Structure 1
Amino acid sequence: MRYEGTVYRPPSEAGSLIIQLTIGCARNTCTFCNMYKDKKFRIRPLEEVVEDLEMARSYYSRIKVRRIFLADGDALIVKTEDLLYIIAKCKEIFPEVERISVYGAPKDILHKTPEELATLKAAGLDMVYMGLESGADEVLQAVKKGVTADEMIEAGKKVRAAGMILSMTVISGLGGKKLWREHALGSARVISAIKPEYVGFLTLMIEPGTEMYDQYNRGEIELLTPHEVLDETELFIRSVDAEGTMFRSNHASNYIPLGGTLNGERDKILGQIEISRRKSKFRPDVFRGI
């Protein structure tokens, strides 16, 4: 396989074969993100992608490849007919594959028709990871996400209606001290409306090379303390209504690990938060990472 630059994937794709269908991020405007700043976005020629699949098959000739993740950040921006071709090649070259997944930027999802998404699902695209980041329009606008909370809901519902597994990400602390309540309540509203299979919380980390890093150094952003992150998370958990959604806050960026199923294990999650609040034992910043 041939990789360009740093390759990113969701934590749950750690054991997956990663194939770059696109390079970088088509929008690359989010003020908090430095993931693709060193790349100029492009869609790779399909023949190159197929060559990588064939190289991977040769390399893993004695290993069953159960999962394939199509990187980078915008695989769904690719024309549907081309996506269908690559999915078919994945299944032809790796007949044992059980799951094919992608990052799904909200704009890319909105540009697909329900029929296109249903066709992709039928062909074998099983799972989409969508970065909500926040459900508050004030926060989304501030971080230049490029979509509104209602557009997030529309995109998430389209993925679910197509029958794909949907995993969404929220960034704790993204609204700072000024908008933490709006961030928690807005995110709860969006997740309640979509009810994805999974919702994962990361915790904001200010990364050098981002617009937010410069804003922070100019004193324009006040970060939440670990206890304030707990308050924000608690407000989300108390406000969200997403029966059956698996909630996780166990990323390397998080101060504490949390987990449970909404809504049935709400009390369990709130109990975990309260124990952490009393103990005041948080992962040191030196051990936190994206």
Structure 2
Amino acid sequence: MRYEGTIYRPPGEWKSYLLQVTVGCSHNQCTFCGMYKDKRFHIRPLADIFEDIAMAKAYYDRLGRSVKRVFLCDGDSIVMPTDQLLAILEKLYATFPELERVTAYAGPRSTLAKSPEDLRRLREAGLYRVYLGVETGDDQLLHAIKKGVNAAQMLEAGIRLREAGFDLWVMVILGLAGPGEPSRRHIAATVEMMNAMKPRHLSALTYLPEPGTELGDQVERGEFQLITGREALLENRGLVAGLTVDPLHFTSDHASNYLPLKGGLPEDREAMLEAIDRALGDEELLRSEYGRAL
């Protein structure tokens, strides 16, 4: 098992075997993101990937452990040619008889570059879940953070993934627009997009400035204002109250969040709203800035 540069994975993939099939992110221009800055994007040769799978097989066999989940690193495995991804999936399921699922990050532009048929073939071959960083439904904000797609394109990417049969997990970022009217527009547009996209899972993180990134430098220079804990709660409340996706697994329990929440919508909506309202009335219930790693 060989890795190039820093490896990232979604929190829920902590039990997964991490197989690096691409290095870095095919887009890697988002103003808020500090991931993958230590490497230049490229697709790994298929022979090297197959060697890594064989190495992983030998390693897990020595431990007497089976591989049940695999996460394909790095930031956008969907960008790989479909035939190569299909070959990797076939090799994984042949090598690990107890393998239950393979998951990956998906970029919106690379998703749109694939045909619906290609996406269905990947799903049928065992690519079970994809994680899509939507960040916001606001067209103006998507442009400002250099996401590489507009709101209509982002929505189309999510719908294509869902309609292909993937277990779609979407991430959005509270505080990404700053306070005031941009905040309200960010949440309203994000709610509207999620209700149209209909992911199965939605995670809300809260923006933390990353040193050396374009947006992080703006924070440092005083050109971008971070939202307060109270404002983050109000954004989260707007999400929980406005989402009509049914069923939806909703989380905002990432370390960046001021108030950890996790549950199902619509059945846990009132309990989550009550928890937010309690915290709005007693800010002692919020994570400290130190606790959020600021």
Q: TM-score, normalised by structure 1?
A: 0.97
The residue number in structure 2 matching 1:124 is 126
Aligned partners of 1:134, 1:205: CA distance in 2, in Å?
Answer: 15
Aligned partners of 2:166, 2:105: CA distance in 1, in Å?
Answer: 12
Aligned partners of 1:107, 1:24: CA distance in 2, in Å?
Answer: 15
The residue number in structure 1 matching 2:291 is 287
Aligned partners of 1:285, 1:56: CA distance in 2, in Å?
Answer: 39
Aligned partners of 2:201, 2:119: CA distance in 1, in Å?
Answer: 19
Of 178-187 and 14-23, more deviation after overlay is shown by 178-187
What's the CA shift string for 1:12-33, capped at 9, x where partnerless? Answer: 0000000000000111100000
8 Å Cα contact 1:243-1:264 kept in structure 2: no
What's the CA shift string for 1:246-276, capped at 9, x where partnerless? Answer: 1000011111101221223221111110122
1:38 is displaced (CA, Å) by 0.9
Match of 1:239 among 217, 242, 259: 242
The residue number in structure 2 matching 1:222 is 225
User: What SS does the corresponding residue of 1:19 show, helix, strand or coil?
Assistant: strand
Match of 1:199 among 185, 202, 210: 202
Match of 2:116 among 110, 114, 117: 114
Q: TM-score, normalised by structure 2?
A: 0.96
1:289 is displaced (CA, Å) by 4.6
1:97 is displaced (CA, Å) by 0.5
| Displacement over 6 Å in runs of 4+ | none
User: What SS does the corresponding residue of 1:170 show, helix, strand or coil?
Assistant: strand
The residue number in structure 1 matching 2:277 is 274
Aligned sequence identity (%):
44
Whether 2:46 is the aligned partner of 1:43: answer: no
Identify unmatched segments of 5+ residues in structure 1.
Answer: none
8 Å Cα contact 2:233-2:259 kept in structure 1: no
Q: How many residues align?
A: 290
The residue number in structure 2 matching 1:33 is 33
Identify unmatched segments of 5+ residues in structure 2.
Answer: none
8 Å Cα contact 2:233-2:258 kept in structure 1: no
Amino acid at match of 2:52: D
User: What SS does the corresponding residue of 1:215 show, helix, strand or coil?
Assistant: helix
What's the CA shift string for 1:176-214, capped at 9, x where partnerless? Answer: 014100111111011100111100011100010100111
User: What SS does the corresponding residue of 1:60 show, helix, strand or coil?
Assistant: helix
